[in-house]
A and B are shown apart, each in its own frame.
Chain A
């Protein structure tokens, strides 16, 4: 009798564990991937996926958005043709990426120099990062370049670009995308989805290129770039050097590129200095890095 009772108790416990696991799994899906709730109603292709915000955009979708934003940027600025310099910028960029919290994206991070004297750096979702020739010329050393790229990587890491997409647009897109697994969209669905895609790109490009990110995102990217740069081994004061350069330029009446879109350099310097002073260990500059930086940018001077 006792044994029977134990068996019944065990069976009941097992049922409870299974029930708990199922609930926790569903909660986990919601917690990590935004508000995705999945309701299984029958055996095949009937999972209902309700997506509602930027956090619900898949890695692959983010990649296609990032590609198109990058294409828009490249339709405005040509690429600077210098393979050695491109390779060097990518190496600095990847050194920083390896020490970020999101080192892997759908197709990885890629860096490119834009052939413009404008002083600017931009990042498109999924890891397409651009730095202008004008800004590279203003960099003093690898520390400064590393900090600028870390700032852009932080924007990608925190998905600031995707957050520029109006939520109502995403809801439209998710409604259109629907519930069933479809291999290919029909002409009507495709046209509607492309309309939403174009509008979403407009939202991101408007923020990135014309208006600039909201203040809170710039401050967050500054704070994270200090963390990432220090983890990589770069002196995070490279960010202060960069912000000082910006402050000097803006006092001289420069109103192009970065300066017209970003919050005041003075305010950012103050915040960045506080962040740096709170670090337990501040890496120092290394002569080997400065030497290779000088060599890489030689042709720009």
Chain B
């Protein structure tokens, strides 16, 4: 009787290990996104997620991914805001974790960045970014878009008959 229970224990441990390893880690690739209560932009925001933050994928639904944040909060993010974390999937290995984060730092701040824009501005004083910055400041809140959709019978509100 001892052998089967030991074997069962080993198998359970084995499958647990495999499932932990398969758990998919995602990293936020845009400046800021929200962890939302429902798979909708105007659903309640449960937490703010910043570029580089890691979340764990739980399930997917029509372009949305249910995830668990590093603080343990479960909610939805849109798939266009995240990317697979890559090597950090092997999260048990600390050395690999270090490498993955170094890689993300390298790719995030490198290339065409603020410093290059600064140099470009210095070379092209006739091209003003003031209006671009003003353009960026106007943000319509998701709740206002919800009202706009509802009043115009658009999106899910247009399908209500």
Contacts and interface: CB of A to CB of B under 8 A. Distances in A.
B15 to A, nearest CB: 10
B46 interface: no
Contacts of A57: 111-112
A167 interface: no
A66 to B, nearest CB: 9
Nearest to A30: B86
A289 B7 CA distance: 67
Contact of A68 (B111, B120, B134): B120
Given A25-B86, A65-B112, A94-B140, A40 B99 contact: yes
A32 B80 CA distance: 12
Given A74-B128, A94-B145, A29 B84 contact: yes
Nearest to B123: A194
Interface of B, helix, strand, loop or mixed by DSSP: helix
Contact of A90 (B106, B138, B157): B138
B61 interface: no
B158 A194 contact: no
A191 B119 contact: yes
Interface string B19-46: 0011000000111010000000100000
A6 interface: yes
Interface residues of B, number: 73
A184 B6 CA distance: 56
- Interface-centre pick from B86, B98, B158 (highest chain A CB count, 10 A): B86
Interface stretch (A105-113, A245-253, A254-262, A268-276): A105-113
Interface of A, helix, strand, loop or mixed by DSSP: helix
Contacts of A300: none
Contacts of A201: 120
Contacts of B90: 18, 21-22, 25
Nearest to B22: A21
B113 A64 contact: yes
Contacts of A21: 21-22, 89-90
B21 to A, nearest CB: 6
Given A17-B18, A110-B136, A197-B120, A286 B111 contact: no
Given A25-B87, A107-B136, 5 more contacts: A10-B11, A79-B131, A95-B155, A98-B149, A104-B33
